[in-house]
């Protein structure tokens, strides 16, 4: 099996109110709750995973909803500042009306690199783009009664990283991850991998004078890049170390194995494996229906369930 980074695996962000987050992503955006679990480091708070029907890497958006006490973040450098979803051609009118009906903050449709996109903010101010890609995205969407296949998101299109200087971040993408610079417009540089057809784009935006952002509510905590299995994961660990960067040991996250390192531009990068996947403690049909606890917290289930907010 080829030793490649297969685009984006998942993106993890910070939210405030769990129920508000759950309602927005499952109802307004029409994503599936793939896994309802808890934070490994704080089991009295949730960790939500949203995605397609099967929890396919490249569709997974996760949240730490830390409650109303979490301060609001601030967009700036050293951050993932935009999350892009792929949507079908002709669907942006549907999304404009849907966002407006649900009192979501959005901008008018714009274009970059020859693709139309619609920008909006989630309830905590996290910034998204719904993009109609140049090449048709044939991934099977998850459907709800309100968001059907002709309009539903297909998974990630891209992420945007904002930096004071992009050179060293670009080296991570090209020299270690195998991305190539596709095109540039002013201070936005588009990098792509040919390892996969979708969730394959990273935009780097260079703004030398802008101040660093603050990661808190409504901010991306980290972005995870995808490998096929944990053997390949460890090959990338060697590459990162050989390039002179510090990286964690392999961590078992129950549904994937992970490595973490902070790239030179300041963003926390993760490399995550496809194995074992989300259908380990639930079947595909059952995904997201029950509270799944890491084994070390199972003896505390009653206490944990008593403090977690109700979602429905």
Write the CATH number for 61. Answer: 3.10.180.10
- For residue 68, the model assigns a pLDDT of 86
CB of 130 closer than 8 Å to CB of 118 = yes
Residue 89 lies in a domain: yes
Residue 222 lies in a domain: yes
**Cα 245 to Cα 51: distance, rounded to the nearest angstrom:** 31
For the chain, the domain total comes to: 1
Residue 1 lies in a domain: no
SS3 302: helix
Which domain, by its residues, includes 203? 8-307
Which is nearest to 213 in space by CA: 249, 253, 267, 169? 267
Burial, 146: exposed, middle or buried (Cβ in 10 Å; 0-12, 13-18, 19+)? exposed
Tell me 248's DSSP state: P
Within 8 A by CB and 6+ apart from 274, the residues are 6, 9, 57, 226, 227, 228, 229, 256
- For residue 1, the model assigns a pLDDT of 43
pTM passes above 0.85: yes
Given the structure tokens 């990162």, which residue do they identify? 240
Within 8 A by CB and 6+ apart from 49, the residues are 10, 33, 34, 35, 36, 37, 55, 60, 61, 62, 255, 278, 288
241: enclosing H helix or E strand: helix 230-242
CB of 202 closer than 8 Å to CB of 173 = yes
CB of 219 closer than 8 Å to CB of 73 = yes
Tell me 297's DSSP state: G
Residue 3 lies in a domain: no
Given the structure tokens 């009306």, which residue do they identify? 97
Residue 2 lies in a domain: no
Please calculate the CA angle 181-228-83 and round it to the nearest 5 degrees: 50
Residue 312 lies in a domain: no
Residue 221 lies in a domain: yes
**Cα 274 to Cα 126: distance, rounded to the nearest angstrom:** 26
CB of 291 closer than 8 Å to CB of 281 = no
Neighbours of 192 (CB within 10 A): 18
The distance from CA 167 to its chain's CA centroid, rounded to whole angstroms, is 23
Structure tokens given for 263: 């790239």
Q: What is the pLDDT along the chain (312 residues), one digit of tens a residue?
A: 478 999 999 999 999 999 999 999 999 999 999 999 999 989 999 999 999 999 999 999 999 999 988 999 999 999 999 999 999 999 999 999 999 999 999 999 999 999 999 999 999 999 999 999 999 999 999 999 999 999 999 999 999 999 999 999 999 999 999 999 999 999 999 999 999 999 999 999 999 999 999 999 999 999 999 999 999 999 999 999 999 999 999 999 999 999 999 999 999 999 999 999 999 999 999 999 999 999 999 999 999 999 999 998
Residue 109 lies in a domain: yes
């Amino acid at each position: 099996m080829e030793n490649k980074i297969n685009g984006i695996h998942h993106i993890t962000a910070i939210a405030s109110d769990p129920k508000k987050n759950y309602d927005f992503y499952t109802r307004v955006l029409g994503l599936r709750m793939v896994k309802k679990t808890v934070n490994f480091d704080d089991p009295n708070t949730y960790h939500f995973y949203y995605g397609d029907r099967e929890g396919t890497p490249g569709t997974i958006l996760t949240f730490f909803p830390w409650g109303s006490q979490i301060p609001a973040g601030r967009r700036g450098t050293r951050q993932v500042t935009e999350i892009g979803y792929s949507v079908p051609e002709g669907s942006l009118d549907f999304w404009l009306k849907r966002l407006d009906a649900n009192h979501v903050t959005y901008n008018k449709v714009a274009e970059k690199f020859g693709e139309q996109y619609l920008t909006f903010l989630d309830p905590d101010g996290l910034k998204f783009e719904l993009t109609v890609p140049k090449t048709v995205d044939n991934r099977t969407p998850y459907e709800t009664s309100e968001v059907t296949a002709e309009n539903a998101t297909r998974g990630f299109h891209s992420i945007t990283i904002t930096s004071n200087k992009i050179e060293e971040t670009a080296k991570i993408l090209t020299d270690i991850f195998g991305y190539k610079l596709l095109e540039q417009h002013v201070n936005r540089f588009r990098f792509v991998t040919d390892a996969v057809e979708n969730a394959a784009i990273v935009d780097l935006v260079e703004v030398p004078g802008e101040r660093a952002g603050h990661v808190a509510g409504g901010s991306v905590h980290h972005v995870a890049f995808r490998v096929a299995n944990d053997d390949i994961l460890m090959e990338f660990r060697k590459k990162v170390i050989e390039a002179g960067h510090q990286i964690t040991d392999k961590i078992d996250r129950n549904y994937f194995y992970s490595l973490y390192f902070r790239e030179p531009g300041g963003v926390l990068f993760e490399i995550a494996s496809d194995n074992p996947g989300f259908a380990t403690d639930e079947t595909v049909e059952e995904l997201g229906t029950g509270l799944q606890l890491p084994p070390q917290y199972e003896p505390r289930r009653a206490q944990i369930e008593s403090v977690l907010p109700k979602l429905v």
